[in-house]
Amino acid sequence: MVSLDAKLSAAVGGPTAKALGTHLELHTVGDLLRHYPRRYVERGALTPFLDLVEGEHATVFAEVQGTTGKRLRPNLYKTDVVIRDAEGARMTLAVFNKPWIEKDLRAGRRAYFSGKAERFNGRMQLANPEFQLVDDEAGVVAEEFAGTLLPIYPAAAKVASLTVQRSVRVALDVVDLGPDPLPDELRARHRLLGLAEALRLIHQPTSYGDVTRAQKRLKWDEAFVLQVVLAQRRAVTRSLAGTPRAPRPGGLLEAFDAALPFSLTAGQQQVGRELAGEMSSSSPMYRLLQGEVGSGKTVVALRAMLQVVDSGGQAALLAPTEVLAQQHARSLRAMLGPLAQAGELGAADVATRIALLTGSQGAAARRTALAEAASGEAGIVVGTHALLSEGVAFADLGLVVVDEQHRFGVEQRDALRAKGSTPPHVLVMTATPIPRTIAMTVYGDLEVSTLTELPKGRSPIKSAVVPVGEKPAWLDTAWQRVREQVAEGRQAFVVTPRIGGEEEPAAADGKRPAAAVLDVLPLLQEGPLQGLRVAALHGRMPPEDKDAVMQRFTAGQLDVLVATTVIEVGVDVPNATVMVVLDADRFGVSQLHQLRGRVGRGAHAALCLLVTEAEGGSPSRERLEAVAGTNDGFELSRIDLEQRREGDVLGASQSGGRSSLRMLRLADHEELILEARAEAVRLVADDPALRRHPALAQAVVDVLDEERAEFLAKG
């Protein structure tokens, strides 16, 4: 017998294990048994030859009539296999470069054949089908398949579904699963199968009822283990002793509130009270603040930072890019005015200082920022990853604010927290709205606050898709809209997916490389935007150049900024009213929503134009139509989750192709996740270290392997 973590070769042999590892990334027995079928084919639902539809995948059951092989070219060998179904209809299978099948598929043998139906010389055929022999000579009689389901697995060009099926059958016979990781009482409460039975039924079901029961148990495995991990992390956070940071009457926060030229929204006031209350406690606050683009998160965070400064502590604001860090420093100083000018002529009595620390600073500026942070002279320190450097010290770090949380990993967040003499309070912010199920999983160790209303004076943004493949003249109209806005004294963004200036071959599907800043800039300057003040902004520019361009645009000295996603977050130019996104289909839903949030930040109506060559009805086009159809970021986040799936919620991968969640779907299984969360909270409260549940403890270790140690790396 072999264990789940045994190498696959121990169960299926070296050559098969090598193929499964190379082409499907299956390396252990556990990997194989959790490589679940993507669908099932019923014996009674097999497609008769006469019902085959060109282009569709089909599975047929047939008897081999004969085979003929010939070499067409030195490197191309073709075998024609004639088969006959139960109705007497005949069809040919075209198999390439597999001469060995002529021995397997001899006349009289019966098998399941699965592949894509194609038409060749006017007749239907299956090209390079997978097949499963089902007769006495193969060791399996066809009658054994009567009334059963044939599993179809995610496969690869060189590893067929049937190879996976055979390997799974062998692994199930030799694996020793050990104790069940789910506690007996939990399984009884929720009527869950044991793990051994669930794995056998998911791979070898006799009915769809078997599949449903097996899936329920395996979804619980994923949801419950994940929630146990998060419950343990919350318990550790709550056990730490921090320093209370209570509000101080007559301090900096009161002075700031009195000078605010606008009223806080009801949501900002409510979240402010939540933060103030939690930071007054000796248990460190650990909270996520999410809100729509432009919902006023920065003001809420600043008020929390000022409360900490009033208590004698310091706040650090960690931003993912230099452009955003510089923008934050400028906007905080502008909002505070004399309150941020401690030590300067005309400063308020309760003033503090704001220090900026980035990796590209000159030596003198860096020394000044480091000294202000270490002495406590700077109550607020804004920076990029440079804040995490060993040489950065604080007099009394009381609050860590992480902007655009999804850009940072837990290790980076904790490296900044470690600079406090006692654990500081933590506020992480995101402008990417998060569905409830994601909040319960990816951000499950955080309490969540949400800002849903926009401050007064913000104008709605109209969005439209510009389908240049179907209506090329619409692009001219888009540039005309830009010129019209500039003529009225407004400004515009043009966004491209690439910087340019580098060699980039055409994609495998024949699509041209995406639009690039360095290619688009001269075309616009010499063409549709000739005569306007147009400049570029991208990530390869020296930091001082990026900052200079951004300041010129903010000051209204530029009409149009041609940029990459470097402007995706934090850029606040109220006079910008129009955005043209080129090759918009190359961006994700959330990214487009973030980009769109760079316009409409003032009192003027705004427009976002999504330029694409994607055909109508294609998934890419539907994605763009969804973005154009609503400004509701929470609705878009739901669409985004459904399209991208979860990615690896325990690691850094953010696409659905690689995920520690194989069976669970965050978009579909909210009720199950809620139940698993409640069970995990109860169990961890009773047994924090899982000493009475060793099998569950091992399952947690297996999930948090070395590659996923930063299990909240992205959101």
Residue 281, token pair as written in the block: 């406690």
Residue 311 three-state SS: coil
DSSP letters for 567-594? GSSS---TTEEEEEETTGGGS-HHHHHH
Q: What whole-number distance in Å separates Cα of residue 47 and Cα of residue 170?
A: 28
| Torsions phi, psi for 594 (to 5 deg) | -65, -45
pLDDT at residue 466 is higher than 50: yes
Of 193-197, 331-335, 449-453, 709-713, give the lowest mean pLDDT range.
709-713
Structure-model confidence comparison of residues 670 and 66, the more confident one: 66
Sheet with 576-581, side-by-side order of all strands: 461-467, 606-612, 576-581, 491-495, 560-563, 534-537
pLDDT at position 715 is 29
* 709 pLDDT tier (thresholds 50, 70, 90): very low
Rounded to 10 deg, the angle between the 589-596 and 633-644 helix axes is 150
Give the whole-number percent of the chain exceeding pLDDT 90.
46
pLDDT at position 157 is 65
Residue 655 three-state SS: coil
As a whole number, the mean pLDDT across the chain is 85
| Over residues 303-330, mean pLDDT | 92
| CB proximity list for 255: less than 8 A, separation 6 or greater | 339, 348, 350
pLDDT at position 66 is 94
Q: Say if CB 523 and CB 540 are below 8 A apart.
A: no
pLDDT at position 48 is 82
Q: What whole-number distance in Å separates Cα of residue 361 and Cα of residue 366?
A: 6
The greatest distance separating any two alpha carbons of the chain, rounded to the nearest whole angstrom, comes to 99
Structure-model confidence comparison of residues 459 and 643, the more confident one: 459
Rank 196-210, 593-607, 660-674 by mean pLDDT and report only the highest.
Answer: 196-210
Structure-model confidence comparison of residues 218 and 571, the more confident one: 218
| Over residues 457-469, mean pLDDT | 86
* 482 pLDDT tier (thresholds 50, 70, 90): very high
pLDDT at residue 350 is higher than 60: yes
pLDDT at position 301 is 95
pLDDT at position 107 is 92
Of 126-130, 155-159, 435-439, 695-699, give the lowest mean pLDDT range.
435-439
DSSP bridge pairs for 112: 61, 132
pLDDT at residue 281 is higher than 70: yes
pLDDT at position 51 is 84
Q: Which amino acid is it at 653?
A: S
Q: What is the pTM of this model?
A: 0.64
pLDDT at position 661 is 67
Nearest to 382 by CA among 395, 406, 399: 399
Residue 174, token pair as written in the block: 């030799």
pLDDT at position 409 is 58
Q: What whole-number distance in Å separates Cα of residue 495 and Cα of residue 594?
A: 12
Q: What whole-number distance in Å separates Cα of residue 410 and Cα of residue 634?
A: 24
Give the whole-number percent of the chain exceeding pLDDT 70.
86
* 703 pLDDT tier (thresholds 50, 70, 90): confident
Rounded to 10 deg, the angle between the 195-203 and 161-174 helix axes is 150
What is the SS3 assignment for 148-161? Answer: CEEEECCCECCECH
| Over residues 484-500, mean pLDDT | 95
Q: What whole-number distance in Å separates Cα of residue 637 and Cα of residue 432?
A: 7
pLDDT at position 685 is 93
pLDDT at position 518 is 94
The helix/strand count (H/E) of the chain reads as 23, 21
Q: Say if CB 561 and CB 492 are below 8 A apart.
A: yes
Q: Say if CB 427 and CB 399 are below 8 A apart.
A: yes
pLDDT at position 563 is 94
| CB proximity list for 420: less than 8 A, separation 6 or greater | 394, 396, 397, 398, 400
pLDDT at position 649 is 43
Of 43-47, 280-284, 413-417, 657-661, give the lowest mean pLDDT range.
657-661
pLDDT at position 159 is 80
Nearest to 32 by CA among 54, 5, 57: 5
pLDDT in tens, 49-108: 888 888 877 778 899 999 999 999 888 999 999 999 888 899 999 999 888 888 889 999
Residue 445, token pair as written in the block: 């160790």
Rank 240-244, 275-279, 295-299, 431-435 by mean pLDDT and report only the highest.
Answer: 275-279
Of 42-56, 141-155, 249-263, 505-519, give the lowest mean pLDDT range.
141-155
DSSP bridge pairs for 579: 493, 608
Nearest to 511 by CA among 622, 614, 609, 644: 614
Question: Is residue 374 within a helix (H) or strand (E), and if so which, with residue range?
Answer: helix 363-375
pLDDT at residue 592 is higher than 60: yes
pLDDT in tens, 360-407: 888 999 999 999 999 999 999 999 889 988 889 999 999 999 986 555
DSSP letters for 34-52? TS--SEEEEGGGPPPGGG-
* 520 pLDDT tier (thresholds 50, 70, 90): very high
pLDDT at residue 647 is higher than 60: no
pLDDT in tens, 522-543: 999 999 999 999 999 998 898 8
What is the torsional sign of CA 170, 176, 177, 180?
positive
Q: What whole-number distance in Å separates Cα of residue 576 and Cα of residue 560?
A: 9
| CB proximity list for 2: less than 8 A, separation 6 or greater | 10, 11, 29, 174, 175, 176
pLDDT at position 322 is 85
* 706 pLDDT tier (thresholds 50, 70, 90): very low
Q: Which long-range contacts (CB under 8 A, 24 or more apart) does 517-522 make?
A: 517/562, 517/563, 517/564, 520/494, 520/496, 520/562, 520/582, 521/562
| Over residues 280-307, mean pLDDT | 88
| Torsions phi, psi for 125 (to 5 deg) | -150, 165
Q: What whole-number distance in Å separates Cα of residue 64 and Cα of residue 85?
A: 9
Q: What whole-number distance in Å separates Cα of residue 17 and Cα of residue 289?
A: 46
pLDDT at position 652 is 36
Domains of the chain: 1-38+153-176 (no CATH), 49-145 (2.40.50.140), 252-451 (3.40.50.300), 461-630 (3.40.50.300)
Of 216-225, 572-581, 695-704, give the lowest mean pLDDT range.
695-704
CA angle, 684 then 177 then 156, to 5°: 105
pLDDT at position 570 is 60
Q: Say if CB 421 and CB 394 are below 8 A apart.
A: no
pLDDT at residue 674 is higher than 50: yes
pLDDT at position 433 is 64
Q: How many CA atoms lie within 13 A of 205 on its CB side?
A: 22
Q: What whole-number distance in Å separates Cα of residue 43 and Cα of residue 54?
A: 21
